[in-house]
Structure 1
Amino acid sequence: MPDYKLYYFDVRSRGEVIRLLFHLADEKFEDQRIQMEEWGVLKAEMPLGQVPVLEVDGVKIAQTTAILRYLGHQFHRAGTNAVECARLDMMAEVIQEFMSAQGMGSYSRVLFGLIQANKEQFFKEKVLPDVEKYAPLVEKFLLENGNNGLLLGDRETWVDVFAAETFSKIIDYGSPDALDAYPHILALINRVFNHPNIKKYVAQRKPTPA
């Protein structure tokens, strides 16, 4: 197997889903958690001047979805044919749009205190409208695949992990009842986070502000 090194800050945010995928696959990787005082130097070494970045045998790959897609294929957590892969890509684009939407895309900066705003009010007025726009789309995909709590087939894919981590943060950092109207998303979160490998990792994970 290649030598993997993940560069990201010591928080969940956009890097945690990559860590979860490694743990799901039970694959070794170096989890390089960047401290802010290091970032000024490291930034110039990153392909796009940002993280997360996955280094594979010395080659650096940026962008969360590009990294996840690569690892999904490496770990056999992708589609079994071109059409299935395209459907997973379609769903991943929905998740990515959700993460980049006006409210959701700014919420982590609010949680970190980089944007001065009342957290509860921002969540209610800015984030929940994004949830109400994108969660029904994901709920629809899950419903089409039956009652196994997955987006495609009967085995967790990289997009299942992507969706579960993204929506779980709505509960963890927003409101525990924010997804009650979307039982299939809740089932997906439950299935992914109860996978033995992920459950073991999360049990040892320290809390972070976002």
Structure 2
Amino acid sequence: MPSFKFYYFDFRGRGEVIRLLFHLAGEQFTDERVTFETWGALKPQMPLGQIPVLDIDGVKIGQTTAIARYLGHQFHRAGTNAVECARLDMIADVIQEMTNSSGFANFPKVSLGLIGGDKTHIFKTEVVPEIEKYAPLVEKFLLDNGNNGLFQGDRETWVDVFAAESFAKLIDYGSPDALDAYPHILALINRVFNHPNIKSYIATRKQTPF
């Protein structure tokens, strides 16, 4: 197994899905939690000048979905053939498109105090319309796999974890009823977050603004 070092800020944000995948697999990694004070000196060392970044035996890989996809294959949490992998990539791209939308981009910045604005107002006016656009697509993908709360097969994939973390933050930091209209997404969150390895990690995880 390679030696892993993960670079991200000391909050959930875009990097938490990577931590969850390591814990799901029960694999060791160095969780390098970057501060805003140390980020300036570290930034030039990153391939894209941003984080999250995973260092794999000295090779640095950026972009959340690229890292998560790699770990999915490394930890046997991907599709079993090229078509299954492509379908999972499609679902991940939908979720990534949602999280890259302007409302989803602004909400964590306000939550973390990086920009001004009313958090509740931004969630209602900018984030909720994006939920209403993308959540029905994700809900349908889950329905297509039956009623086990996963996108594919009967074992959690990296995309299940990516979706669960992306949507769970909407409840945790936005509104408790944000996903009430989407029972299959709620079931996915419940299944992923109650996996023994992930549940154990979350039980000791400190609270962060996002």
Q: TM-score, normalised by structure 1?
A: 0.99
Name the counterpart of 1:141: 141
Alignment partners' CA distance in 2, 1:115 and 1:148: 40
Name the counterpart of 2:196: 196
Letter in 2 for 1:160: D
| Residues matched between the structures, number | 210
The aligned runs of 1:9-48 (5 Å cut-off) are: 9-48=9-48
1:208 aligns with 2:201: no
Name the counterpart of 2:127: 127
Name the counterpart of 2:83: 83
Secondary structure (helix, strand or coil) at the match of 1:32 reads strand
What 5-or-longer segments of structure 2 have no aligned partner? Answer: none
Alignment partners' CA distance in 2, 1:193 and 1:132: 23
Residue 102 of structure 1 deviates from its aligned partner by 1.2
Q: TM-score, normalised by structure 2?
A: 0.99
Residue 112 of structure 1 deviates from its aligned partner by 1.1
Secondary structure (helix, strand or coil) at the match of 2:8 reads strand
Letter in 2 for 1:38: T
Secondary structure (helix, strand or coil) at the match of 2:12 reads coil
Alignment partners' CA distance in 2, 1:93 and 1:190: 22
Residue 125 of structure 1 deviates from its aligned partner by 0.5
RMSD: 0.5
Residue 142 of structure 1 deviates from its aligned partner by 0.2
Alignment partners' CA distance in 1, 2:174 and 2:95: 17
Cα deviation code 1:120-168 (max 9, x no counterpart) = 1110011000000000000000001010000111000000000000000
What 5-or-longer segments of structure 1 have no aligned partner? Answer: none
Residue 115 of structure 1 deviates from its aligned partner by 2.0
Letter in 1 for 2:122: F
Name the counterpart of 2:106: 106
Name the counterpart of 1:115: 115
Name the counterpart of 1:181: 181
Alignment partners' CA distance in 2, 1:152 and 1:86: 12
Alignment partners' CA distance in 2, 1:94 and 1:150: 16
1:4 aligns with 2:4: yes
Secondary structure (helix, strand or coil) at the match of 1:151 reads coil
Alignment partners' CA distance in 2, 1:103 and 1:192: 25
Structure 1 stretches of 4+ moved >4 Å: none
Name the counterpart of 2:61: 61
Alignment partners' CA distance in 1, 2:47 and 2:194: 35
Alignment partners' CA distance in 2, 1:53 and 1:117: 29
Secondary structure (helix, strand or coil) at the match of 1:88 reads helix
Alignment partners' CA distance in 1, 2:144 and 2:105: 28
Alignment partners' CA distance in 2, 1:173 and 1:44: 31
